[in-house]
Structure 1
Amino acid sequence: MSLLRPIVVLALSAVCMGYAATVITAPSSNNRPIIGVLSQELSRSLENEWGELNYTSFIAASYVKFLESAGARVVPIKINREMSYYTDVINSINGLLIPGGANFYNTSGYGLAGEILYNLAIDLNNQGDYFPIWGTCLGFELLIYLMAGKDDPRIVCDAWDKADPLDFEIGFNKSKIFSPAPSSVVDILATEPVTANFHRWCVTKELLTEANIVNDIDILATSVDHEGLRYVAAFESKTYPFFAVQFHPEKPAYEWNIREKNIPHTANSIHVSSYFAEFFVNEARKSTHQFPTLEKERSSLIYNYAPTYTGAANKTYDQCYFFTD
């Protein structure tokens, strides 16, 4: 492929050509995709600053912008709700993004809601109803945890505030994520420090083997932490349209805090991040779910909430959506 060919053309042409065969059959393209983003409890730093306002959960605005940049709308998914809420929302949206965060164990609303949504997505796909999931950082770890039957396969590591290239695995170019990628994206990822890593837990190939899920996923790339530990950086399910990366593709374009020094903001890092956004939104286009009424759709969208500028307080996120319900 030409290095100069626009990424959006390549991403759209990839939809037309189709990805590698999967168990699930994807329907025709939906040009009005809506993706749910899972909320979570306030982090300690956010709680210290905004906890007195009775906020119960939040979503970093960078995830919303990431998806909107590729042509999707966003619905915030609340935590600590009844099963009927999650069933209704997953049957109304076209994909799920599970963002990074702090904790996913069953004491967290994020973890409980994530498990419910994961199981609902499994059921949908088993019925031939195409429904993709994207996991970023803690979302990556949550998917691994659930695939392993809630037997945590992670190990403590130090990959905080670290920008890295990806070390691709053999066969990565046949994967759903990377087979449509232009050579410019692959070359940048393989040679430049364009992935923003902010995690203190890692999953290695050996741990995935011990967890008996290494045959359920395709490991696509690895990276190395500050101490030289090699960990899995990207994978996709062999059976379901589930994709995950340990790094943060939303940060290069949308997070500018000066406390963390190694978020890449180069033109190439933005080019790569845009590819990941377009890839997942194109996956969501394969879902034909819709809200039962236009009124319900409109009342569910993130547009009903105003983001708060949190970056001025030197927090991790420049903007956040806060929720009280």
Structure 2
Amino acid sequence: YYQSGKYMYDLAIKANDAGDYFPIWGTCLGFELLTSLTANKNVLQKTDTDNITLPLLFQKGFQSSRLLMNATEKLINDMASEPITQNNHMFSLLVQDYNNTSVLNSFYRLISTSIGIDQKEFVSTFEAYKYPFYGVQWHPEKNIFLWRTDQAIDHDFHAVEITQYMANFFVNEARKNFHHYSSTDEEAHEVIENAVRTFYPDFRIGEIFYFNYTGDYFVDKYG
């Protein structure tokens, strides 16, 4: 996982340095991977932040971030005043470690922090200064797409608006990249609809896409 992520991260750095706009989005483990790749070491610490919803503590200058500069005042107030972001992680980048790690605080702009059950303050949202790289330790996608009753997920209107905003923002970032397939036929063979989609109502993830499908791992493993 780390080596695959490093390969893509290095390609994105190289592409952007060459003028090819290539954005990266990291959610949860992806966020954690970005911190390790940039710092070239593990900078995470264990926290009590598994399966909880938290508000965001916005940091000075967050309004000038690319990620949130176009967010409405209402959306910002919702994220700041309501426990509306779903967290499902056991490790975090503590604010003190971000502040004490120059390679991180010079590379990433701190947008928001959050405080877990153990009262440890951790980085919850950041973006790179120079590159179109974005990281959220929380799960914006789950507000719409994951409906497990054992998961602390907010599905109300405000929460859904947050998911939509984040998705629209990053899709617009991807539009700035001009990569394209050579033909519509080639593109049709690469879209995710070609994968085998299986729904597991009793499994934590819910939906799984299989690529190069050879059998049902979860049916074989769990019956």
Under a length normalisation based on structure 2, what TM-score does the superposition of the two structures give? Answer: 0.92
Query: 1:290 aligns to what?
Result: 180
Match for 1:236 among 113, 116, 127?
127
> Number of matched residues?
212
**Aligned partner of 1:237: which letter?**
A
**Where does 1:56-71 land on structure 2 (aligned, <5 Å)?**
none
Query: 1:146 aligns to what?
Result: 37
Matched residue SS, 1:300:
coil
**Where does 1:100-249 land on structure 2 (aligned, <5 Å)?**
110-149=1-40, 151-212=41-102, 213-249=104-140
Shift of 1:117: 0.6
**Aligned partner of 2:111: which letter?**
L
Inter-partner Cα distance in structure 1 for 2:181 and 2:9: 20
Inter-partner Cα distance in structure 1 for 2:23 and 2:69: 17
Query: 1:316 aligns to what?
Result: 204
Inter-partner Cα distance in structure 1 for 2:108 and 2:162: 23
Query: 1:50 aligns to what?
Result: none
Inter-partner Cα distance in structure 2 for 1:200 and 1:252: 20
Matched residue SS, 2:210:
strand
**Aligned partner of 2:195: which letter?**
Y
Shift of 1:122: 0.4
Higher RCO structure (Cα 8 Å, ≥6 apart): 1
Q: Give a deviation string over 1:120-177, Cα, whole Å, max 9, x none.
A: 000000001111110000000101110002x110001111110011000010000000
Shift of 1:293: 2.8
Inter-partner Cα distance in structure 2 for 1:297 and 1:111: 28
Inter-partner Cα distance in structure 1 for 2:74 and 2:119: 27
Shift of 1:323: 2.5
Unaligned runs of 5+ in 2: 214-223
Inter-partner Cα distance in structure 2 for 1:185 and 1:209: 27
* Native 8 Å contact 1:205 1:214 kept in 2: no
Inter-partner Cα distance in structure 1 for 2:154 and 2:196: 27
Shift of 1:184: 1.7
Moved over 4 A (4+): none
Under a length normalisation based on structure 1, what TM-score does the superposition of the two structures give? Answer: 0.63
Query: 2:145 aligns to what?
Result: 254
Inter-partner Cα distance in structure 1 for 2:26 and 2:158: 22
